[in-house]
Structure 1
């Protein structure tokens, strides 16, 4: 009969070193949290900037192409006129209409840049009035706000309230706070709804559409449309190039202030995305992409608003994304 060796006894070691409590051990990092890849890719696309030589080469090629096209169109029209006066006249009218349309589009883009610059000037003057206690400058800002929104029927009641109570206010904070409450708070509500709709769209497409670049394209398009709508709400009415430039400016603003904003504002949204990622990776990515879209919307509000947030509270990303996803689940 074979002898069976006795079982080995467990090895016990005494550890007297401080800090050996397992409860004090750091948590195991979760490396599989969703990162919002679609929004990160959209931000890289929006903020890409070419070199000076690249911009110069683009200008040269565009100018050359425009010159060649203009000469070819001129020769085409003159040749048709020499062959047949009627057909040549039709071609001349069509070319003239195309040139007029191009000039009109260029004028609209230029006007959009001027409107966005006007909002920047108002915001800067309001900040100067508050910092310097300049009541005259504050009154000038409120008059400019009234002229800016003079054609807005939805702000008629707010303008009347501002006109009625403005003479009773003799301090800068009170006057600018009155203008903010009467004119900008209703616009803030409209901007919040635009942000919630964009966040809902980005989160839905990321969660439900498994195509490779669909979420990136949707994130870029939704953010571009959201930024354009926010500018229109506050009086900017940016054009196509103006909207893309504003989106680039918003992402640049987030690069400068995003580290602080993400740690204090997005932590609960990212945590929620991590919980959902345990069930579905796509749903977790959708939550984080929606939260980042909401953060872009809040930054666009700060850059397009003619007065900085002072009396009215600045919207929080957690509240926006919560309402956006609640509306999604209710559907």
Structure 2
């Protein structure tokens, strides 16, 4: 009988040999087969109840309720109009005319809201594509961005000179970034000082009213109203012309932008600036609240400019928060 080989004995080593790389055969391992979904079978084997996808009764209820309310409102309006026409006197016809004006005004409000949402979306798309064209030096994309920006600002008298200058020189530029710089210089840069003035004016107004107001609720309402007014002015300046719903969407975009860019540290910045000027001991509590609310409005204004500006900052400088806060607080 042969003695079994001990586990401690080593296997014989292969002698060294020469070979060519081309002679080596590469064997690819077979791809693993996807594992079957055993969640339902395991649940059945364990005796657990399985979730069945049935009808969504909540969605059906809300849809049916909305359709029923719309149908009842349509029937009531139809019967009301017929009753007014059946009167055959001036009261009925006046009521019909007023009802027509109400429906027409409602239609125009809806169209204005849709137009505001579309223009706000166009601003964001132009900004995104301009940023991509500048990073990748994409000349066709830069030409398309410039063409759409000209169409977006067509008919505005405040930048008519810049529009004419851009039309004279845009065909002589071969580089994508230089074309975008020319577009920024002629179409967007003239609007930046106006935007900065709007932010500074709103922040100063908020600071003064907050400092002299004795009621905190009035302060909050005034700050909210001034910030929404500032958002509307800045968006209109850059061409958005927002309605109510588009203004709410813009406010959500601004808040998201502040959070993503580190605007949560606003309080620390303002406190450090006040301490740096040695005014903490001399400022009253209300005056300190006024400076803080003005700084908050300034932060919101800068974020609104970043969101509404149709081109990135290629040649111009972005407004600096500390400089605007110092201007609002009267430090310079």
| Same fold? TM cut 0.5 | yes
Residue of structure 2 in register with 1:290 after alignment: 294
Q: Does residue 1:309 correspond to 2:304, yes or no?
A: no
What is the CA distance between 1:126 and its match in structure 2? 0.5
Map Cα deviations across residues 33-77 of structure 1 (whole Å, 9 max, x no partner). Answer: xxxxxxxxxxxxxxxxxxxxxxx9999998876665544343333
TM-score (norm 1): 0.73
Deviation string for 1:115-141 (max 9, x for gaps)? 111101111110111222111111111
RMSD (Å) for aligned C-alpha atoms: 3.1
Say if 2:160 is the partner of 1:162. no
1:150 matches 2:154: yes
Larger Rg: 1 or 2? 2
Q: Is the 8 A contact 1:250 1:300 kept in 2?
A: yes
Aligned partners of 2:225, 2:158: CA distance in 1, in Å? 28
1:98 pairs, out of 96, 102, 121, with 102
Q: Secondary structure at the match of 1:279?
A: coil
- Describe how 1:17-166 pairs up with structure 2 within 5 A: 69-166=73-170
Quote the residue 1:224 is aligned against.
Answer: 228
Q: CA separation of 1:229/1:100 partners in 2, compared to 1, >3 Å: closer, same or farther?
A: same
Change (3 A) 1:272 1:115: farther
Q: How far has the Cα of 1:319 moved from its partner?
A: 1.7
Distance change >3 Å, CA 288–CA 260, structure 1 → 2: closer
1:273-299 Cα distance to aligned partner (Å, 9 max, x none): 983475301111111111111111111
CA distance in 2, matches of 1:286, 1:149: 37
Deviations 1:2-44 (A, max 9, x none): xxxxxxxxxxxxxxxxxxxxxxxxxxxxxxxxxxxxxxxxxxx
TM-score by length of 2: 0.73
Give how far 1:268 is off.
5.0
Runs of at least 5 residues in structure 1 that lack an aligned partner in the other structure? 1-55
**Distance in 1 between residues matched to 2:72 and 2:278, nearest whole Å:** 56
Distance (whole Å) between structure 1 residues aligned to residue 65 and residue 294 of structure 2: 39
Change (3 A) 1:106 1:306: same
Q: 2:198: which partner in 1?
A: 194
User: Any idea what the Cα deviations from partners look like across 1:232-261, whole Å, max 9, x if unmatched?
Assistant: 111111112211221122012212223477
User: Structure 2 unaligned runs (5+)?
Assistant: 1-59
8 Å CA contact 2:198–2:233 kept in 1: the answer is yes
Higher relative contact order structure (alpha carbons within 8 Å, sequence separation ≥ 6): 1
Aligned to 1:6: none
